[in-house]
């Protein structure tokens, strides 16, 4: 809404920790809060397009764009007239103290943070925001905590695309998720390259560049980390744990484990139990 117009002040939500929702606004949808709100506001565009006004200019937001408005920043947003509709998910929230790094977004206009979310990441962000909305409107005893945790998940996925920290390539995220989902699967470079829809050499180059190690080293680290957790928290046999993390040869598993942790699996378990 242009600054020259005297807009009608939109009501302010009452936010204890988080208030979230999702809706589609038509061509006449707009919001104006002269002094913003005391909470943070996250707006994620699902479809259509919106216009968000900032002190230094307007931002046009389209599908996959997320907007973050700081407390006390003017709220001036509306459906983009050229689009005619704007489907969005939103969350008004008071952040946890440890969320500070997650709220450090690139500023498109003063006080208006913007992160663009590529296709593969959008469902994850939207899943978190929808879970947040359901929980914030729910009546479970811990509904507020469920809502806050769901919102944190959305913010964490958004943070993977924050250019201030170096956005993670969505193809690499697919590979990392694939590895974590089943450590017993075929996780050779060729298999992982198919997940990423890249050549094995290109995957190895990108993976090493962004994660600091080649794919096979990452797979081994994940397997050995999971094995250490199982050794410390269960009394299952070493051979069984080896199979559960993707090694059919328990002797080879023991050698790799000893190289990383400086002691055999059995000695590692004994040391953890003695603490």
| Same-domain status, 110 and 179 | no
**pLDDT one-digit tens code per residue, 177-195:** 899 999 999 999 999 999 9
Question: In this predicted model, which residue has the larger pLDDT, 78 or 212?
Answer: 78
Mode of pairing for the β-strands spanning 75-79 and 18-25: unpaired
Residue 43 β-bridge partners: 67, 90
CB 231 within 8 A of CB 254: no
Which among 132, 159, 186 is the end of a domain? 159
What is the span of the domain harbouring residue 188?
Answer: 170-273
Mode of pairing for the β-strands spanning 40-54 and 65-69: antiparallel
| Residue count of the chain | 275
CA-to-CA distance for 76 and 56, rounded, in angstroms?
A: 12
- Asked whether the predicted pLDDT for residue 15 surpasses 50, the reply is yes
DSSP result, 49-76: EEEEEETTEEEEEETTEEEEE-TTS-EE
Which pLDDT score is estimated for 118? 87
**pLDDT one-digit tens code per residue, 87-112:** 999 999 999 988 989 999 998 877 78
Enclosing H/E stretch for 43? strand 40-54
- Asked whether the predicted pLDDT for residue 6 surpasses 70, the reply is no
Number of domains in the chain: 2
Question: Looking at the domain assignment, is residue 4 inside a domain?
Answer: no
CA-to-CA distance for 34 and 199, rounded, in angstroms?
A: 52
CB 83 within 8 A of CB 89: no
CATH number at 35 reads: 2.60.120.280
CA-to-CA distance for 83 and 79, rounded, in angstroms?
A: 7
| Same-domain status, 69 and 191 | no
| Same-domain status, 134 and 180 | no
Which pLDDT score is estimated for 1? 39
- Asked whether the predicted pLDDT for residue 4 surpasses 60, the reply is no
Strand, coil or helix: what is 7?
Answer: coil
pTM (2 decimals)?
0.72
Enclosing H/E stretch for 112? strand 112-116
CATH number at 184 reads: 1.10.10.60
Task: Quickly state the pLDDT bin for 57 (edges 50, 70, 90).
Answer: confident
Write down the mean pLDDT value for the chain: 91
Task: Quickly state the pLDDT bin for 8 (edges 50, 70, 90).
Answer: confident
């Amino acid at each position: 809404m242009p600054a020259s117009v005297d807009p009608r002040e939109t009501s302010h939500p009452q936010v204890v920790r988080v208030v979230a929702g999702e809706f589609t606004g038509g061509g006449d949808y707009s919001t104006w809060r002269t002094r913003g709100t005391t909470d943070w506001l996250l707006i994620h565009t699902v479809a259509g397009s919106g216009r968000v006004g900032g002190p230094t200019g307007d931002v046009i937001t389209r599908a996959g764009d997320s907007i973050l408005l700081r407390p006390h920043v003017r709220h001036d947003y509306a459906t983009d007239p050229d689009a005619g509709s704007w489907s969005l998910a939103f969350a008004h929230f008071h952040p946890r103290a440890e969320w500070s790094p997650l709220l450090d977004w690139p500023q498109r206009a003063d006080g208006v943070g913007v992160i663009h979310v590529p296709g593969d990441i959008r469902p994850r962000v939207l899943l978190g925001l929808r879970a947040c909305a359901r929980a914030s409107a729910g009546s479970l005893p811990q509904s507020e905590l469920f809502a806050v945790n769901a919102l944190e998940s959305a913010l964490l996925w958004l943070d993977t695309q924050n250019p201030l920290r170096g956005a993670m390539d969505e193809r690499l995220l697919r590979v990392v998720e694939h590895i974590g989902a089943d450590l017993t699967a075929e996780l050779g470079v060729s298999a992982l390259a198919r997940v990423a829809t890249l050549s094995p050499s290109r995957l190895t180059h990108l993976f090493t560049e962004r994660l600091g190690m080649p794919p096979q080293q990452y797979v081994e680290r994940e397997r050995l980390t999971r094995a250490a957790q199982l050794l410390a928290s269960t009394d299952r046999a070493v051979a069984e744990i080896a199979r559960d993390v993707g090694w059919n040869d328990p002797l080879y598993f023991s050698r790799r484990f000893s190289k990383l942790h400086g002691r055999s699996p059995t000695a590692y378990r004994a040391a953890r139990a003695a603490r």
